[in-house]
Amino acid sequence: MVGLRLRLFHLIVRRMSSQNKYLIEDPKYSFLKELGLERVNVGVYHGKWKASGQVVQSVCPANGQVIAEVQQGNLADYGTCVEEAQTAWQMWADLPAPRRGEIVRQIGEALRQKLIPLGKLVSLEMGKILAEGVGEVQEYVDICDYAVGLSRSFSGSLIPSERPGHVLLERWNPLGVIGVISAFNFPIAVYGWNSAIAMVCGDTVVWKGAPSTPLVSVATTKVVAEVLERNSLPGAVCALCCGGSDVGEAMAADTRLPLLSFTG
């Protein structure tokens, strides 16, 4: 009887220990560390990884276990993201469109290299089946391919003038810093659709992903940031500020953002 109680006690302890263990520490989920994720992650990036907000847990909806933690950004962090993105825009917009397209091409290639790990993360954190998670990353890759072609086809127009000896020249200009707020059900594809096109157009991006999928936002930004750093470009070309409704409301009211894409 005592032996049975002892075995039952050890079983309960092991089960509780398993429940308290973060999935990122489980070898079964080694792909998380392949993506550069840690037990505690910084959810703000503007050329530097630095956050001052609340630390939240990312929970797998399939089993209720904690995957890892993310320190969110606060309003001050968001302000820094916009300021750094504005500074980066001055240089980014001056690059020839084909050069911007080349950077986006490299981002697409980097995503191809991380296709399966990122797809697994989307599945784990959002809850969709693996095929859909991988397919969502592929959506980002595909829009990068499309954007590369677009970068070499920007053209204005020469319009006949009513005045003799004159013509009208139409030219497209970048807007500036673009805001992207994406939803939980497409935590990477929506950002990709928006950011790849904005980048080749000469705009910089500030992204706030859904609060329930912060690890996807962090892992995706790490891929993009590595490409920017490798090309000696400011990381704030693609800034990230994980957060809640306070950050979202600030973005919606921010006159420094001439365009805000919202999905939710």
Q: Are 26 and 17 in contact (CB under 8 A)?
A: no
Cα dihedral 256, 180, 222, 26 in deg (nearest 10): 140
What are 123-158's pLDDT values in tens digits?
Answer: 999 999 999 999 999 999 999 999 999 999 887 788
45 vs 69, 100, 218, 256, CA distance in Å? 16, 20, 9, 18
In angstroms and rounded to an integer, the radius of gyration of the C-alpha atoms of the chain is 22
What's the CA gap between 131 and 162, in Å, rounded? 58
- The pLDDT score that the predictor gives to residue 36 is 98
What pLDDT is attached to residue 134? 98
Average pLDDT over residues 40-45: 99
Domain 66-152+174-264 has CATH 2.60.40.10: no
- Position 250 scores a pLDDT of 98
**Whole-number Å distance between alpha carbons of 148 and 103:** 9
Mean pLDDT of the chain: 93
| 205 half-sphere exposure, CB direction, 13 A CA radius | 25
What span, in angstroms and rounded, lies between the C-alpha atoms of 196 and 237?
11
Instruction: Using the predicted structure, report yes or no on whether residue 185 has a pLDDT greater than 50.
Output: yes
Domain ranges of the chain: 66-152+174-264
> Contact, 170 vs 156, CB < 8 A?
yes
pLDDT-based confidence at residue 7 (cuts at 50, 70, 90): low
Judged against a pLDDT cut of 80, whether residue 15 lies above it is answered with no
Q: How far apart are CA 219 and CA 133, in angstroms?
A: 14
pTM: 0.89
Per-residue pLDDT of 195-217, as tens digits, reads: 999 999 999 999 999 999 999 99
Strands 157-160 and 204-208: unpaired
- Of the chain, the percentage scoring pLDDT greater than 70 comes to 92
Secondary structure of residue 57 in the 3-state scheme: strand
